[in-house]
């Protein structure tokens, strides 16, 4: 009996020890899980705080690469920049004759945070001609220096015969003939405009002479709310508007009329 009791007691102690070890492992695992969750939450908060500046810098780098390609193109074409796309509502340069000779990698046509680049496992992967759309940036191939010329651009592009997109943009604006020459490397006109609010609150604007500005809506002529709203409408001609292109004022897109 004594030996039997001893065995039973030993077995009971072993079971208790097993339960204790198991419980300790559960406690340790639970503590580790909580620590991981807290660390993840902290990293998320920190990344959210850094996101606007990081996204602005990333998008500015993409615009810079795109502008350098325009520079190389202009150097071989008497200072002229490439024409706008032949697809109605696509406010981007025509890839024919431009890509890949001058723009080696078409991923720079899209911001790193655009859906097109995020679908790729490599954010720097060449996306082909498929990338040449205005989802991230808007291309302005005619000179704009004043509010009147900005209005003329919107009206003229809406009425443009795309077979004549290589030439100047002639517009009848309020009974006055307005002619916008093609943008050249020698001018000071804005040529690339980042859509405001697609990746961060501000937008980068690149000028034909190589200057760059980062501004909020309203800070620069081509970032005036009425002009951006007009570009939104032009960019949606004959094609669906991307889901990310959320309005930046009033909760919905304000109807725009060039007249």
**Per residue in 18-60, pLDDT tens?**
556 655 566 656 666 766 666 554 544 444 444 666 666 777 7
Name the DSSP class of 202.
S
DSSP category for residue 184: B
76, pLDDT greater than 70? yes
Question: Which residue, among 69, 70, 116, 102, has the nearest Cα to 244 in the 3D structure?
Answer: 116
243 or 248, higher pLDDT: 243
Mean pLDDT for the chain?
Answer: 77
pLDDT one-digit tens code per residue, 170-181:
999 989 999 999
Residues 130-147, mean pLDDT to the nearest whole number: 90
pLDDT at 118 over 80: no
Helix (H) or strand (E) holding 204: strand 203-207
Name the percent of the chain lying above pLDDT 70. 65
**Pairing status of strand 137-139 against strand 190-194:** antiparallel
Which residues have a Cβ under 8 Å from the Cβ of 27 and sit 6 or more positions away? Answer: none
Is residue 71 pLDDT above 50, yes or no?
Answer: yes
Alpha carbon distance 13, 4 (integer Å): 14
What gap in Å lies between CA 52 and CA 188, rounded to an integer? 28
Domain chopping of the chain, boundaries? 55-235
Average pLDDT of the segment spanning 65-92 = 93
Structure tokens at 53: 């500046």
Cα distances (angstroms) measured from residue 12 to each of 2, 6, 15, 18? 15, 10, 5, 10
pTM of the model: 0.71
Confidence of residue 149 (pLDDT cuts 50, 70, 90): very high
Q: When comparing pLDDT for 249 and 117, which is higher?
A: 117
Q: Any bridge partners for residue 206, and if so which?
A: 192, 212
CA 167 to chain centre: 29
Please tell me which of 2-11, 89-98, 124-133 the model is most confident about, judged by mean pLDDT: 89-98
Rounded average pLDDT over 70-74: 94
């Amino acid at each position: 009996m004594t030996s039997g009791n001893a065995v039973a007691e030993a077995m009971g102690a072993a079971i208790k020890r097993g339960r204790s070890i198991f419980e300790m492992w559960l406690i340790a695992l639970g503590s580790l899980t909580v620590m991981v969750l807290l660390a993840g939450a902290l990293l998320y908060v920190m990344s959210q705080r850094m996101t606007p500046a990081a996204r602005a810098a990333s998008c500015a780098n993409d615009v810079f690469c795109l502008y350098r390609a325009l520079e190389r193109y202009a150097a071989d074409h008497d200072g002229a920049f490439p024409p706008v796309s032949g697809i109605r509502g696509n406010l981007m340069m025509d890839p024919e004759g431009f890509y890949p000779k001058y723009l080696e990698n078409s991923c720079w046509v899209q911001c790193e945070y655009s859906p097109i680049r995020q679908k790729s496992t490599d954010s720097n992967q060449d996306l082909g001609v498929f990338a040449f759309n205005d989802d991230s940036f808007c291309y302005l191939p005619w000179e704009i220096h004043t509010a009147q010329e900005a209005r003329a651009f919107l009206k003229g592009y809406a009425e443009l015969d795309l077979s004549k997109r290589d030439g100047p943009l002639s517009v009848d604006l309020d009974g006055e003939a307005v002619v916008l020459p093609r943008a050249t490397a020698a001018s000071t006109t804005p040529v690339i405009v980042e859509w405001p609010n697609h990746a961060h609150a501000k937008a980068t604007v690149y000028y034909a002479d190589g200057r760059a500005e980062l501004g909020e809506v309203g800070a620069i002529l081509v970032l005036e709310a009425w002009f951006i709203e007009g570009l939104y409408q032009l960019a949606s001609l004959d094609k669906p508007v991307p889901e990310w292109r959320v309005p930046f004022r009033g909760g919905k897109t304000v109807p725009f009329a060039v007249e």
